[in-house]
Protein backbone atom coordinates (compact mmCIF):
# COMPACT_ATOMS: atom_id res chain seq x y z
CA UNK A 1 0.00 0.00 0.00
CA UNK A 2 3.00 2.28 0.43
CA UNK A 3 3.42 2.56 -3.35
CA UNK A 4 -0.22 3.65 -3.71
CA UNK A 5 0.33 6.41 -1.16
CA UNK A 6 3.46 7.49 -3.02
CA UNK A 7 1.63 7.45 -6.36
CA UNK A 8 -1.29 9.49 -5.02
CA UNK A 9 0.88 11.81 -2.87
CA UNK A 10 3.14 12.79 -5.74
CA UNK A 11 2.51 16.56 -5.51
CA UNK A 12 3.57 16.67 -1.88
CA UNK A 13 6.69 14.67 -2.71
CA UNK A 14 7.58 17.02 -5.57
CA UNK A 15 7.02 20.03 -3.34
CA UNK A 16 9.26 18.50 -0.66
CA UNK A 17 11.97 17.96 -3.27
CA UNK A 18 11.79 21.59 -4.40
CA UNK A 19 11.99 22.78 -0.80
CA UNK A 20 15.00 20.58 -0.08
CA UNK A 21 16.89 21.79 -3.17
CA UNK A 22 16.12 25.39 -2.23
CA UNK A 23 17.39 24.75 1.33
CA UNK A 24 20.64 23.26 -0.01
CA UNK A 25 21.18 26.32 -2.21
CA UNK A 26 20.44 28.68 0.69
CA UNK A 27 22.90 26.80 2.94
CA UNK A 28 25.61 27.03 0.30
CA UNK A 29 24.91 30.75 -0.20
CA UNK A 30 25.11 31.31 3.57
CA UNK A 31 28.47 29.44 3.68
CA UNK A 32 29.87 31.54 0.86
CA UNK A 33 28.60 34.80 2.41
CA UNK A 34 30.20 33.74 5.72
CA UNK A 35 33.49 33.17 3.88
CA UNK A 36 33.51 36.82 2.71
CA UNK A 37 31.61 36.89 -0.62
CA UNK A 38 28.88 39.37 -1.37
CA UNK A 39 25.30 38.06 -1.50
CA UNK A 40 25.02 38.31 -5.27
CA UNK A 41 28.42 36.66 -5.91
CA UNK A 42 27.59 33.93 -3.38
CA UNK A 43 24.26 33.22 -5.14
CA UNK A 44 25.92 32.89 -8.56
CA UNK A 45 28.75 30.74 -7.16
CA UNK A 46 26.33 28.46 -5.29
CA UNK A 47 24.18 27.97 -8.38
CA UNK A 48 27.24 27.24 -10.53
CA UNK A 49 28.49 24.69 -8.01
CA UNK A 50 25.12 23.10 -7.41
CA UNK A 51 24.16 22.86 -11.08
CA UNK A 52 20.85 23.26 -12.83
CA UNK A 53 18.22 22.93 -10.08
CA UNK A 54 15.38 22.36 -12.54
CA UNK A 55 17.25 19.57 -14.28
CA UNK A 56 18.07 17.94 -10.94
CA UNK A 57 14.38 18.09 -9.97
CA UNK A 58 13.30 16.50 -13.26
CA UNK A 59 15.89 13.71 -12.97
CA UNK A 60 14.82 13.02 -9.38
CA UNK A 61 11.18 12.86 -10.41
CA UNK A 62 12.00 10.41 -13.20
CA UNK A 63 13.52 8.07 -10.63
CA UNK A 64 10.24 8.05 -8.69
CA UNK A 65 7.99 7.60 -11.69
CA UNK A 66 6.48 4.43 -13.12
CA UNK A 67 6.10 5.50 -16.75
CA UNK A 68 3.89 2.62 -17.86
CA UNK A 69 1.46 2.91 -14.94
CA UNK A 70 1.31 6.70 -15.10
CA UNK A 71 0.80 6.75 -18.86
CA UNK A 72 -1.95 4.15 -18.56
CA UNK A 73 -3.62 6.14 -15.79
CA UNK A 74 -3.50 9.35 -17.88
CA UNK A 75 -4.89 7.52 -20.92
CA UNK A 76 -7.77 6.08 -18.89
CA UNK A 77 -8.56 9.50 -17.43
CA UNK A 78 -8.54 11.03 -20.91
CA UNK A 79 -10.77 8.27 -22.26
CA UNK A 80 -13.29 8.74 -19.45
CA UNK A 81 -13.38 12.49 -20.07
CA UNK A 82 -14.02 11.92 -23.78
CA UNK A 83 -16.77 9.39 -23.08
CA UNK A 84 -18.48 11.84 -20.71
CA UNK A 85 -18.57 14.47 -23.45
CA UNK A 86 -20.54 12.27 -25.86
CA UNK A 87 -23.00 10.07 -23.94
CA UNK A 88 -24.76 8.75 -27.07
CA UNK A 89 -21.50 7.40 -28.46
CA UNK A 90 -20.70 5.92 -25.04
CA UNK A 91 -24.01 4.07 -24.88
CA UNK A 92 -23.64 2.75 -28.44
CA UNK A 93 -20.03 1.66 -27.80
CA UNK A 94 -20.90 -0.09 -24.51
CA UNK A 95 -23.88 -1.89 -26.05
CA UNK A 96 -21.82 -2.96 -29.06
CA UNK A 97 -19.07 -4.30 -26.84
CA UNK A 98 -21.59 -6.10 -24.63
CA UNK A 99 -23.26 -7.78 -27.61
CA UNK A 100 -19.93 -8.74 -29.17
CA UNK A 101 -18.57 -10.18 -25.95
CA UNK A 102 -21.81 -12.07 -25.31
CA UNK A 103 -21.89 -13.48 -28.85
CA UNK A 104 -18.24 -14.54 -28.70
CA UNK A 105 -18.78 -16.20 -25.34
CA UNK A 106 -21.84 -18.09 -26.59
CA UNK A 107 -20.13 -19.23 -29.80
CA UNK A 108 -17.01 -20.36 -27.95
CA UNK A 109 -19.11 -22.22 -25.37
CA UNK A 110 -20.90 -24.15 -28.12
CA UNK A 111 -17.70 -24.93 -30.03
CA UNK A 112 -15.95 -25.93 -26.82
CA UNK A 113 -18.76 -28.27 -25.81
CA UNK A 114 -19.25 -29.80 -29.27
CA UNK A 115 -15.84 -29.87 -30.92
CA UNK A 116 -13.03 -29.29 -28.44
CA UNK A 117 -13.91 -31.46 -25.48
CA UNK A 118 -13.90 -35.22 -25.56
CA UNK A 119 -17.28 -36.92 -25.40
CA UNK A 120 -18.27 -38.04 -21.90
CA UNK A 121 -18.22 -41.77 -22.74
CA UNK A 122 -15.59 -44.41 -21.98
CA UNK A 123 -14.65 -45.18 -25.63
CA UNK A 124 -15.76 -42.39 -27.94
CA UNK A 125 -14.03 -43.98 -30.96
CA UNK A 126 -16.54 -46.88 -30.78
CA UNK A 127 -19.61 -44.70 -31.21
CA UNK A 128 -21.73 -45.28 -34.32
CA UNK A 129 -24.36 -43.23 -36.05
CA UNK A 130 -27.73 -44.84 -36.70
CA UNK A 131 -29.49 -43.90 -39.91
CA UNK A 132 -32.55 -45.05 -41.78
CA UNK A 133 -32.49 -46.02 -45.47
CA UNK A 134 -35.44 -46.42 -47.75
CA UNK A 135 -37.03 -45.48 -51.03
CA UNK A 136 -39.51 -42.79 -51.72
CA UNK A 137 -40.86 -42.32 -55.25
CA UNK A 138 -38.28 -44.79 -56.49
CA UNK A 139 -35.52 -42.57 -55.12
CA UNK A 140 -33.26 -43.88 -52.38
CA UNK A 141 -32.94 -41.73 -49.31
CA UNK A 142 -31.03 -41.78 -46.05
CA UNK A 143 -32.25 -39.97 -42.98
CA UNK A 144 -30.05 -39.27 -40.00
CA UNK A 145 -32.89 -38.73 -37.54
CA UNK A 146 -34.81 -41.61 -36.09
CA UNK A 147 -37.52 -41.62 -33.51
CA UNK A 148 -37.29 -44.17 -30.72
CA UNK A 149 -40.44 -45.97 -31.92
CA UNK A 150 -39.04 -46.32 -35.46
CA UNK A 151 -35.79 -47.65 -34.02
CA UNK A 152 -37.55 -50.31 -31.91
CA UNK A 153 -39.96 -51.40 -34.68
CA UNK A 154 -37.37 -51.64 -37.47
CA UNK A 155 -36.37 -55.22 -38.33
CA UNK A 156 -33.06 -56.23 -36.90
CA UNK A 157 -30.34 -56.87 -39.37
CA UNK A 158 -26.73 -57.52 -38.63
CA UNK A 159 -24.92 -54.20 -38.39
CA UNK A 160 -22.99 -53.07 -41.42
CA UNK A 161 -19.52 -51.97 -40.60
CA UNK A 162 -18.06 -49.20 -42.63
CA UNK A 163 -14.69 -49.17 -41.01
CA UNK A 164 -11.91 -51.65 -41.76
CA UNK A 165 -11.71 -54.68 -39.54
Count CA within 13 A, CB hemisphere, residue 18. 7
pLDDT in tens, 62-115: 777 777 887 888 999 999 999 999 999 999 999 999 999 999 999 999 999 888
Distance between CA atoms of 130 and 159, rounded to whole angstroms? 10
When comparing pLDDT for 66 and 16, which is higher?
16
In the chain, what are the domain boundaries?
2-65, 70-116
Nearest to 27 by CA among 38, 14, 12, 42: 42
| pLDDT, position 165 | 47
Distance between CA atoms of 30 and 37, rounded to whole angstroms? 10
| pLDDT, position 155 | 60
Amino acid sequence: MNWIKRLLGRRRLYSDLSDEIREHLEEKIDELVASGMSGEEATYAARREFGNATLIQEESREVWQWPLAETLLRDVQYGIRQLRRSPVFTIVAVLTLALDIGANTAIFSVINAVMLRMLPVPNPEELVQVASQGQRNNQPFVTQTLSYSLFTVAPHRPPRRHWPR
